[in-house]
């Protein structure tokens, strides 16, 4: 019975006719036993991703008749025909241009499994959206146009999918009907793509499969086709049915990032969040990081009542046997297998900002439910997508993939991405535009011990904390220019001071504290002076470049 019919029966509260006298309750009980597979699509522009997803939905009878009628004769097809891509491409701009722009999530199910699909865009401009859709997937379908072969964007998406740790890769060679179902075309693409994945080394997905399909005609999508007698393997849907589902992580070390502290009354104090890995039960010992305080679980609270056990990825509220100071951003872990607290780590970066990476800038780093200031101190290499060659680099541009060293202002409690995809991942945010600058996957961490001395704070310590050295900057220009300069430095995380008046003793103290001390003289001519260095500027960017050129905004030596 189609799932749509089942839903209609549930809505009218009529017993389901499943051939065994089943009822609504038995249907729901059976539905709960089916596992869930999240998968995404990836590939170059016009490889047919949306059409493939539309074909899956249509042939599995997972769309309503009014949805089908709404797309009849629209898009690139004529009257009486269906452009199945319109079942997922819902934005007006997508339908006008015939491309996918945003990630479209769709749900369908079969008798054995439930699915959540992330239909991601193939255009290079929207690679960030593709990475978002693949970040939670357990399987990725990478489409290749049989006529065009493996393109650069196909390789880029395959590389990002591997970096994101998606364990199951299904390469669908699409539009086989346009190459007369030629076996040699399919085999050549399989050889090229297999060699590409082999070059990934440790990042190579453990499960890699190939299937020839035609999304337009439905060949090998849901049902096996007779048009390709040389292929005896399963159809694409059969691959999805049999692929290993995401491991729940129930046996992994416990990880729970606190999202909110719940205090509805004086008698209750709980910590809400989602389990990232592992299993927890009342009475279990826990360790709170970074404070390293210990306690035991008193209860596991949910809307439906207390639980005897909870595991990833459940969202729960924990109460403890002791009054422990815990706030948003803290990580509750198993004491015997704690995460690493560090300020320095190496990570793979997928650069998503159209502005290139600036080593002298501070970014906001969001890790689980915690956000801190951080900077990229060095780029070890940039990955050439076509050849997977590692090339030296000093920056990363839009859509570049590289390995970089990250330094955060405050310690972060992290795991390697290969150990935990949640506690091992983060994003970098531009503090000025609030746009996501990069997605990061932690590869190596530096374990840092607790300080054992109480030495006085040095100028180098202050420079490492603020991201710049203390200095007096004299500005000449309009009040609007000086206001813009102060705000720009402030948004970059600088310790900036703009006093109305100050003595030489106060000025010296502020500089010793590591502050950027701004003073200004109103004039039509805009200049900046640092020591004996003087330069004319026309805007705030010129000011920032002047400060960078004189190593003021480079953060100084590390601690």
Q: Is the pLDDT of residue 19 over 50?
A: no
Summarize pLDDT for 252-272 with one digit per residue, the tens.
889 999 999 999 888 899 999
Q: pLDDT > 90: what percent of the chain? A: 35
The answer to whether 99 and 119 have CB atoms below 8 angstroms apart is no
Q: Is the pLDDT of residue 2 over 50?
A: no
Mean of the per-residue pLDDT values for the chain? 82
Alpha carbons 166 and 246: distance in angstroms, whole number = 9
**Single pTM value for the model:** 0.70
Higher-scoring residue by pLDDT: 288, 85: 288
> 351: cis peptide before it, omega within 30°?
no
Label the pairing between strands 370-383 and 363-367: antiparallel
Alpha carbons 213 and 219: distance in angstroms, whole number = 5
Ramachandran region, residue 388 (left: φ > 0; alpha: ψ -120 to 50; beta: rest):
left
Q: Is the pLDDT of residue 210 over 60?
A: yes
Enter the tokens of residue 253: 């070390």
pLDDT given for residue 513 in this prediction = 86
Q: What's the CATH fold of domain 255-337?
A: Elongation Factor Tu (Ef-tu); domain 3 (2.40.30)
Domain boundaries, the chain: 14-242, 255-337, 340-445, 459-549
φ, ψ at 243 (rounded to 5°): -65, 145
pLDDT given for residue 25 in this prediction = 64
Q: What's the CATH fold of domain 340-445?
A: Elongation Factor Tu (Ef-tu); domain 3 (2.40.30)
The pLDDT-based confidence of 71 (bands split at 50, 70, 90) is: low
Sheet bearing 104-109, strands edge to edge? 104-109, 113-119, 35-43, 139-145, 168-174, 207-212
Summarize pLDDT for 334-358 with one digit per residue, the tens.
988 878 889 999 999 999 898 999 9
Q: Is the pLDDT of residue 5 over 70?
A: no
Interior angle at CA 193, CA 190 and CA 198, nearest 5: 120
pLDDT given for residue 543 in this prediction = 81
Same fold, 14-242 and 255-337: no
Q: Which CATH number is 14-242 given?
A: 3.40.50.300
């Amino acid at each position: 019975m189609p799932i749509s019919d089942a839903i209609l029966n549930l809505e009218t509260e009529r017993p389901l006719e499943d051939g065994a006298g089943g009822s609504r309750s038995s249907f729901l009980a059976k539905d709960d036993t089916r596992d869930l597979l999240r998968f995404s699509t990836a590939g170059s522009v016009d490889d047919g991703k949306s059409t493939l997803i539309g074909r899956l939905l249509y042939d599995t009878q997972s769309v309503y008749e009014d949805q089908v009628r709404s797309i009849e004769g629209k898009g690139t097809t004529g009257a009486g025909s269906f452009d199945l891509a319109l079942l997922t491409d819902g934005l007006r701009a997508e339908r006008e241009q015939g491309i996918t722009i945003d990630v479209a999530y769709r749900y369908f199910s079969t008798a054995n499994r439930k699915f959540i699909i992330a239909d991601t865009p193939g255009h290079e401009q929207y690679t960030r959206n593709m990475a978002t859709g693949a970040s939670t997937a357990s399987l990725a379908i990478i489409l290749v146009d049989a006529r065009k072969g493996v393109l650069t964007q196909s390789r880029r998406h395959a590389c990002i999918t591997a970096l994101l740790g998606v364990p199951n890769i299904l390469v669908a060679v699409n539009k086989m009907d346009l190459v007369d179902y030629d076996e040699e075309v399919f085999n050549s693409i399989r050889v090229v793509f297999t060699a590409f994945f082999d070059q990934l080394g440790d990042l190579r997905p453990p499960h890699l499969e190939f299937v020839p399909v035609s999304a337009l005609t439905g060949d090998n999508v849901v049902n096996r086709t007779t048009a390709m007698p040389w292929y005896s393997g399963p159809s694409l849907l059969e691959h999805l049915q049999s692929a290993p589902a995401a491991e729940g992580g129930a046996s992994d070390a416990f990880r729970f990032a606190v999202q909110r502290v719940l205090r509805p009354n004086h008698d209750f104090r709980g910590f809400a969040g989602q389990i990232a890995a592992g299993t927890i039960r009342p009475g279990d010992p826990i360790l709170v990081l970074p404070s390293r305080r210990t306690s035991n679980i008193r209860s596991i609270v949910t809307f439906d009542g207390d639980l005897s056990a909870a595991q990833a990825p459940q969202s729960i509220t924990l109460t403890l046997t002791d009054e422990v100071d815990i706030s948003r951003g803290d990580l509750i872990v198993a004491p015997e297998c704690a995460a690493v607290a560090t300020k320095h780590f190496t990570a793979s970066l997928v650069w998503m900002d159209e502005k290139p990476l600036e080593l002298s800038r501070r970014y906001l780093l969001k890790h689980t439910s915690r956000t801190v200031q951080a900077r990229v101190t060095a780029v070890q290499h940039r990955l050439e997508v076509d050849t997977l060659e590692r090339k030296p680099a000093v920056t990363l541009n839009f859509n570049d993939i590289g390995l970089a060293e990250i330094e955060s202002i405050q310690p972060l409690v992290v795991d390697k991405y290969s150990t935990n995809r949640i506690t091992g991942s983060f994003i970098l945010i531009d503090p000025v535009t609030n746009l996501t600058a990069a997605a990061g996957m932690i590869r190596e961490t530096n374990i840092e011990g607790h300080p054992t001395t109480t030495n006085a704070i040095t100028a180098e310590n202050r420079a490492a904390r603020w991201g710049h050295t203390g200095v007096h900057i004299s500005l000449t220009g309009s009040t609007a220019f000086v206001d813009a300069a102060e705000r720009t430095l402030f948004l970059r995380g600088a310790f900036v001071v703009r006093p109305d008046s100050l003595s030489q003793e106060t000025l010296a103290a502020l500089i010793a504290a590591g502050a950027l001390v701004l003073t200004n003289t109103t004039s039509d001519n805009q200049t900046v002076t640092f020591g004996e260095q003087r330069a004319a500027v026309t805007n705030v960017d010129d000011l920032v470049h002047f400060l960078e050129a004189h190593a003021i905004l480079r953060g100084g030596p590390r601690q």
